[in-house]
Amino acid sequence: MRVKSRALLTLCIAVGFLWACSTGISGGNLSALPSAQPPTLVDTQPTPWPTSTRWPYSTVPRPSPAPTPTPGMPVFGWGPTTVPLAEPLVTEEQALKRVLLIDASIAVWDSPWSLDSRKSEPNRITLEAFPSRTAETGGKGGFAPELDADAGAVWRITIRGSVCLRLMDSRVGPTVKYDGVTYVISQRHGGLLSVGSGKPLTATSCP
């Protein structure tokens, strides 16, 4: 075993000597070995922002400036949110035409009314105009400012007569007949703002 170990050691020394000769390294001459290069330093300092006020600093387009507020208008405030009618309901005839369409889906009359009812039955229909919902309720409605601003001026229209009302309201009985109905609509957008029934008629009922 010792003979084999010595032979293996001798072989390793011979191989090392041959490799050194082939690479030009002999004795203590280590000049052929590649020298270590110093590490490359990376600049980690942030790039300063340009001090010039001219635009652009890059290819990014300059953003559009904010619009200038209209004089006399608050920056934060309430305003209309619904789409207005092309022609506001400024006349009584315009208001009645609008309510006639609304009434057709809500009320069932014993004696139907029409636009001519104001002439044939002078006391049946009453129209009143108000500058706002708050004014229409006498300040009792408690409407938020945005709702008042959105509705604008309003019409209150009362139609008298025996009527059944089809409303999703537990306060209005589906089988109870009432002595008339009152609608409040917006002059600005024509929407229905409120519906109120007259006194219930105990002698009759809806089918």
Whether 72 is covered by a domain: the verdict is no
Whether 146 is covered by a domain: the verdict is yes
pLDDT tens profile 21-39: 555 544 445 455 555 566 6
Banded pLDDT at 18 (limits 50, 70, 90): low
**pLDDT greater than 50 at residue 75:** no
Whether 110 is covered by a domain: the verdict is yes
pLDDT tens profile 104-144: 999 999 999 999 999 999 999 999 999 999 999 988 877 78
The pLDDT > 70 percentage for the chain reads: 59
Whether 138 is covered by a domain: the verdict is yes
Number of domains in the chain: 1
**pLDDT greater than 70 at residue 7:** no
Whether 66 is covered by a domain: the verdict is no
**pLDDT greater than 90 at residue 202:** no
Q: Note down the domain range covering 107.
A: 92-205
pLDDT tens profile 79-99: 567 889 999 999 999 999 999
Whether 75 is covered by a domain: the verdict is no
Whether 191 is covered by a domain: the verdict is yes
Whether 111 is covered by a domain: the verdict is yes
Q: Which amino acid is at 117?
A: S
